[in-house]
A and B are shown apart, each in its own frame.
Chain A
C-alpha cells in the first residue's frame, strides 16, 4: 500500500544561505574582523579599486581577498601584487557568490591571521543582490561609462547596499557624467553613502576606506 501525504513545509528557500551568512557576520564581529562584499558590473573597476585599497591598507593591515569569477585567476593575481593575500573562486556558470562559497574559503585559512576581508563578487547587477555572503557592508561599484541610468535600471542591488561607489570619475566630461548616478544613488536609499572615485588616479580611494570605517594615516 502506498499513501500520499502532503507536508506543510513553510520554510524560506533562502534560509540555508541566510543562516550561514549571519553566522559568518557574527563570527567576524566577535573576532573584531571586517568583511566587505564588492559588487558591480563587469568592467566597473571592482578589481582596480581593490588593488588600490590593498596597496593602501597593506602597510598597516593584513588583507585577504576572495575573488569570484566565472573563469581565470586574473583578478586574484592582480590584487595579490598589491600586498593582499588572495584566492580565486571560479563559479563555472554561477552568476553570484554564496555564503557557503565564502565559508569554504574561510575554512582553509586561519581567520586570526588577517584583519580585513573583501570579496569581489561576480560581475553582475542582478543575482548577487539576493545572496547574502555575510559581509558587514555591501558596496556596489558603478562606473560613469555604464550610462547614466544604470542605477534606475538595477534598483534592487543598490537597495541592499550601504555604499555606492561612482568610479572612473577621471574621464568625466562631455560624454560621461556622474551627476545623475550620484543623485540616483542618494535618492534610492536615504542612508546610502555615495563616493566618487577614480581607481586610476586614486581620487576618492581614501574616502572609500574611511566609509568602510577603517583607520589609516593620512597620505603624505
Chain B
C-alpha cells in the first residue's frame, strides 16, 4: 500500500500551494506516472479520499492519474530517456538501451509528478 504514502505526499505538496492563494476549494489534481511504477490508480484514489475526507478545502476534489512514457538510464553509456519497447525475456523491468543495446539499465520507478492543480479562488 505505498499508494497511501504517495497520496499523502501529494496532499502535503498541494496544501503548500493552497496556502499561497486565496483558495476556496481544490477541484482537481492531475498526476502522471509511468506504467512501471507499481501504482494502482484505484488504490491511489481510495487513499486520497481517505486522507482528504475531513479536509474542508479538499471536499469533492478529484485526483486523476495519467500514464506517461517510462524513463531508463543506461549504466553502460549514461543514456537517459525512453527504453526500447522490447522487454527482457528473462528479467522483467530490465529494458534495452536504444543507444548502445545494453540491458544494464535502470528504470526510473519514481517518475510520479504532480502536473497541475485546479483551484477555486475567491476574487477578493
Contacts and interface: CB of A to CB of B under 8 A. Distances in A.
Contacts, number: 117
Interface string A130-173: 11000000000000000000001101100110000000000000
Interface residues of A, number: 40
A129 interface: yes
B117 A6 contact: yes
Q: By DSSP majority rule, is chain B's interface helix, strand, loop, or mixed?
A: mixed
Given A9-B17, A129-B109, A4 B1 contact: no
B120 A130 contact: no
B5 A1 contact: no
Given A127-B1, A155-B93, A10 B115 contact: yes
Interface residues of B, number: 41
Contact of B112 (A13, A155, A156): A13
Given A13-B114, A95-B1, A187 B109 contact: no
19 contacts: A1-B123, A2-B121, A3-B123, A5-B118, A7-B21, A7-B117, A9-B13, A13-B113, A16-B13, A17-B5, A93-B4, A98-B5, A127-B1, A129-B109, A130-B38, A155-B91, A156-B109, A187-B91, A190-B104
Interface of B: 1-2, 4-6, 9-10, 12-14, 17, 21, 24, 27, 31, 37-38, 75, 90-94, 104, 106-107, 109-123
